[in-house]
Amino acid sequence: MENLKKDGIIPSLAVIIVGDDPASKIYVKNKKLACEYCGIKSLEYALPAETSQEELLALIDKLNNDNSVSGILCQLPLPKGLDEEAVINAISPKKDVDAFHPVNVGKIMVGNFDFLPCTPAGVMELIALSGIEVKGKKCAVIGRSNIVGKPMSMLLLHQHGTVTICHSKTADLKAEVSQADIVVAAVGVPELITGDMIKEGAVVIDVGMNRLPDGKLTGDVEYESCVVRASAITPVPGGVGPMTIAMLMKNTVKAALLNKTK
């Protein structure tokens, strides 16, 4: 970061939050703390729930044209009445540190990307740092969302994994998961994946974050039954979540470098 500052580059992240969603507020707070830790300038735009589509798009346009802003992130979900797709499309692809814009999604498909979605990128970083080989392995991704499931599948494919995408219409989930060497659960169903579903020695990565009626946080994986069979497994909380934030910081720095000539 010091080298960037010597070159006159100061990475900055503009985070837009609309409304009073408690979970969104926590996520925004964590991102702000991460920026402070990394030396990235944090800009927060807290807008009331009654903000109009026009007002939100005007703010994004202003930030797109502000050369001091490296990256822009609009915290989802948005309040009812606001068009999330239009908001995602309005953010400049060069400042889209979530990598949700169709231009960046397309680049991920062909493998020529500037940014990766933060959670799938965090998963791949965990896999790499753990010394786990993806090449030639059977991979099961549970969930087909645009934010995690689909890009996660593409990144595993880029690393030469053989990928199966499972979802709510998959005929026999257990049969598919039981064949996988690497399992990524990202569907938002508490403890859906149980120990009897995974093969001995599988790598199990839990992207889910669900709150049970008693207030306890749990993932999409039943940890206790899977940990005794898996060769590696991520906990919830404290597993993929911190990696997601780390990848956001990485994307913000990359955006600062991409936009330095603007």
Give phi and psi for 144, each to the nearest 5: -130, 30
Containing 121, the helix (H) or strand (E) segment is: helix 118-129
Q: Region of 80 please: left (phi>0), alpha (psi -120 to 50) or beta.
A: beta
| C-alpha pair distances (Å), 47 with each of 15, 30, 78, 101, 261 | 11, 18, 11, 22, 30
In the sheet that holds 12-18, the strands lie side by side as: 41-47, 12-18, 71-74
How many other C-beta atoms lie within 10 A of the C-beta of residue 39?
Answer: 14
Residues in CB range of 15: below 8 A, 6 or more apart: 28, 31, 32, 42, 43, 44, 45, 73, 74, 75
How many other C-beta atoms lie within 10 A of the C-beta of residue 235?
Answer: 13
- CA-based Rg of the chain, rounded to a whole angstrom? 19
Is 98 an active-site residue? yes
DSSP assignment string, 139-199: EEEE---TTTHHHHHHHHHHTT-EEEEE-TT-S-HHHHHTT-SEEEE-S--TT-B-GGGSP
94, 95, 98, 250: the catalytic one is 98
Is 199 an active-site residue? no
Is 75 an active-site residue? yes
Active site residues: 31, 75, 98
